[in-house]
Amino acid sequence: MGKEIKYQVTDYAGKLAKGFLKNPLTPVLGAFLLIMGYLSLTIMPREEDPQIAISGGAVIVAMPGASPREIENIIINPLERKLREVKGIEHIYGQAFDNYGVVSVMYYIGENREDANLKLYDKVMQNMDKMPKGVMQPLVKPFDIDIDIPILTFAFYAKDKKVDDVKLFKTVRELQQKINAVENVAKTTLKGARKEQYNIEVDMGKLSAYHLSLGQIMKAVQSVAVDVPDVKGRTQKNKLVIFGVKNAIESIEDVKNVIVAQYMGSPIYLRDVAKVTDGIDIQNFQTAKVRFKTDRKEKLGKEKSQVTLTVSKLAGTNAVFVADDVLKLLKQYDARLNKEGIGYLVTRNYGVRADEAVNELMDHLLITIVIIALMLVFALGWRESIIVTFTVPAILAVTLFVAYLSGQTINRITLFAFLLSLGLLVDAAIIVIENIHRHLHAHDAEQKEMGKLLVEATDEIGAPTNVATLAIILTMVPMAFVGGMMGSFMKPIPLNVPVALIASLFVAYIFTPYLSLKLLKKPTHKHHKGGK
């Protein structure tokens, strides 16, 4: 009776299923999606934590000799009032110290960083005329998290005694230059570095014995330590003759032999009143030490002086690649460092951590897919299970591709968004395949043409599935409006889960019927029954 009635496709689900069911381009589309997803996975920048756009900056104003109360009145209060005029600032922090004041501002999360920095600088510069007298030029320092947080740190230390602090510093400084040249490396800094310095330590007793003052010594050294550029002279034939004064100070010996004053007709040399040494910057108290072991069972070694080299990457670049490149470069210097008696220790490697975090979650994704596939084998049969299992990578591929196009990075939270959506995105496919399965085993299945049956089965659950999926998407959307640090931290969830869900609908409607046509057959026992 009703068998001859033409089935009217009512939903997009049915239309999609019908359109792609016998289209030769369907497998091409599938392959294309998978390749795109794979490419996105490999080239997308990886990092451990998502980037949070924190903008802010500090204005540092020095006024030598002023007490905190004075600084507060003269610098902090007027500056705070002025900065209040800038839109988008969430908090202003003022700190008044002896001799200087710092006003730092924090913008609302998500404020454009370039604009924020510019606004701060602009506001300070606009009001330069209102600067009180005796105040030094203000310093405006924006925070830059991408560049400020190093992804790699190395501790360089001396392996044997013959390497002194200065030698260590010089070698590390050379390496810093090389590492800074690596692609996408942004900022490199040294911590705990001791620089070479000529130290002139004056003995106060001798000073009074020779009847000298510290000021005289300062002037005497300053008067010889001058660099003069070469001068040009001309011959009568207008040819250039270039000559220059050689620097008076070439080595530590020259410093020692500076004549400070004449006493009773004989010269007093600097070495007579002071200990002059070629040493390190003794006034620098910012030193760094390291104790380490190479095996878990050992005891920590003795304390060693170290110089830490920090390396950070440019925003939006792949931490894994940058770290690899830098480590590779450093490997080339291993032999040289070894020969010079310098060892190093990698004390931080966010590249590895990012890669580990990403790979661990990829493993979790795979395991979960396998588990779901196994479950489906028991519940629906292995052919059906294969079909659903195929849809998962296809959906993830689409989602990854969209994420890549929208400039996101792969990080912990993105992958959690994937894991979260995994349970949801097989739903559409399961519902479709379950309905197909049911239709195939229905008593009137053998009278129907396979293709028509598949389209019908898909179309039937189309409307409620669409609404239900839309409902899940709607729950995710408001999450995008969660503000603050936490909001930005978990932004990948509302960004990616809806994409995955929409993709899951399309994939379920396009590929599930298509693959069913290729893989599934009407149950044979029905034919036997029909034949009877």
Partner 1 sequence: MKGLENFIYTILGSKKKKRMVLVLTALAFVGTLMMFPTKLVLAKMLPGKSDNTFSIYVDTPTGSSIEQTKAVSECVIDTIKDEKEIMNMELFLGQGVPLDYAGLVKGSAMKHTEDVAEISVNLTDKHTRDEPSFLMVQRLRPIVKQKCDSVVPGTNIRFIEQPAGPPTLASVVVEVHGDNLEKIRSLSMDVAKILKKTDGLVDVDVMADDIYDKYELIPDKEKIARSGLSVKQVNNILYLAFEGMQIAHKNSKNNPDQIPMFLILTKPSKKLASQNKDALQSKLSSLNLMNKKGMLVPLSEVVNIRKVKSNPKIMHKDLDRMINVTAETDMVSQVYPLLDAREKMIKYFSREYKVEKEPGMSTYMFDLHLTDKKTGERFLLRWDGEMKVTLDTFRDLGGAFIAALILIFLLLVVYYKSFVLSGIILLGSFLSIIGVILGHWVANWFTQETFFLTATSLIGFIALMGISSRNSLLLIDFTKSLMECHGMEKRKAIAVATATRAKPIALTAVAIILGSALLASDPVFGGLGVALISGTVAAVFVSLLFVPVLMHSVKAMDFEPADHCDVNNISITK
The answer to whether 484 contacts partner 1 (rule: CB under 8 A) is yes
Q: Which residue, 26 or 113, is less far from partner 1 as judged by CB? A: 113
The answer to whether 264 contacts partner 1 (rule: CB under 8 A) is no
Interface with partner 1 (CB under 8 A), residue total: 152
The answer to whether 133 contacts partner 1 (rule: CB under 8 A) is no
Residues 405-444 that bind partner 1 (CB under 8 A): 412, 416, 419-420, 422-424, 426-427, 430-431, 434, 438-439, 441-444
The answer to whether 297 contacts partner 1 (rule: CB under 8 A) is yes
Q: What is the DSSP letter of 33?
A: H
Q: Please, what is the minimum distance in Å from the beta carbon of residue 462 to partner 1?
A: 11
Interface residue with partner 1, options 41, 168, 394, 493 (CB under 8 A): 493
Interface residue with partner 1, options 27, 316, 483, 530 (CB under 8 A): 483
Half-sphere exposure of residue 500: CA atoms within 13 angstroms, side-chain side: 28
The answer to whether 214 contacts partner 1 (rule: CB under 8 A) is yes
Interface residue with partner 1, options 40, 55, 117, 306 (CB under 8 A): 306
* Matching residue, tokens 């960083």: 113
The answer to whether 163 contacts partner 1 (rule: CB under 8 A) is no
Could you give the string, one character per residue 47-86, with x where binding to partner 1 holds by CB under 8 A and - elsewhere?
Answer: --x--x-x------------xxx-xx---xx--xx--x--
Cβ atoms of 49 and 414 closer than 8 Å: no
Q: Please, what is the minimum distance in Å from the beta carbon of residue 32 to partner 1?
A: 26
Q: Which residue, 91 or 328, is less far from partner 1 as judged by CB? A: 91
The answer to whether 362 contacts partner 1 (rule: CB under 8 A) is no
Provide the Cα torsion 37, 38, 41, 43; round to 10°: -110
The answer to whether 203 contacts partner 1 (rule: CB under 8 A) is yes
305 φ, ψ to 5°? -70, 145
Residues 233-252 that bind partner 1 (CB under 8 A): 247, 249
Helices (H), 44-107: 68-71, 77-83
Q: CA-CA distance, 131 to 124, in Å (whole number)?
A: 10
Alpha-carbon torsion 6, 9, 15, 18, what sign?
negative
The answer to whether 205 contacts partner 1 (rule: CB under 8 A) is yes
Interface residue with partner 1, options 75, 96, 185, 436 (CB under 8 A): 96
304 φ, ψ to 5°? -130, 150
Residues 9-48 that bind partner 1 (CB under 8 A): none
Q: CA-CA distance, 451 to 485, in Å (whole number)?
A: 51
Q: Is 435 exposed, middle or buried (0-12, 13-18, 19+ CB in 10 A)?
A: buried
50 φ, ψ to 5°? -70, 155
> Which run of H or E residues covers position 369?
helix 350-380
Who contacts 4 (Cβ-Cβ below 8 Å, separation ≥6)?
none
Site stretch for partner 1 (CB under 8 A), options 28-36, 114-122, 287-295, 321-329: 287-295
Q: Which residue, 22 or 441, is less far from partner 1 as judged by CB? A: 441
Could you give the string, one character per residue 439-478, with x where binding to partner 1 holds by CB under 8 A and - elsewhere?
Answer: x-xxxx-----------x---xx-xxx-xxxxxxxxxxxx
Could you give the string, one character per residue 319-348, with x where binding to partner 1 holds by CB under 8 A and - elsewhere?
Answer: --------------------------x-xx
> Can you give 155-217 as a three-state secondary structure string?
EEEECCCCCCHHHHHHHHHHHHHHHHCCCCEEEEEEECCCCEEEEEEECHHHHHHCCCCHHHH
Token readout for 25 is 């381009």
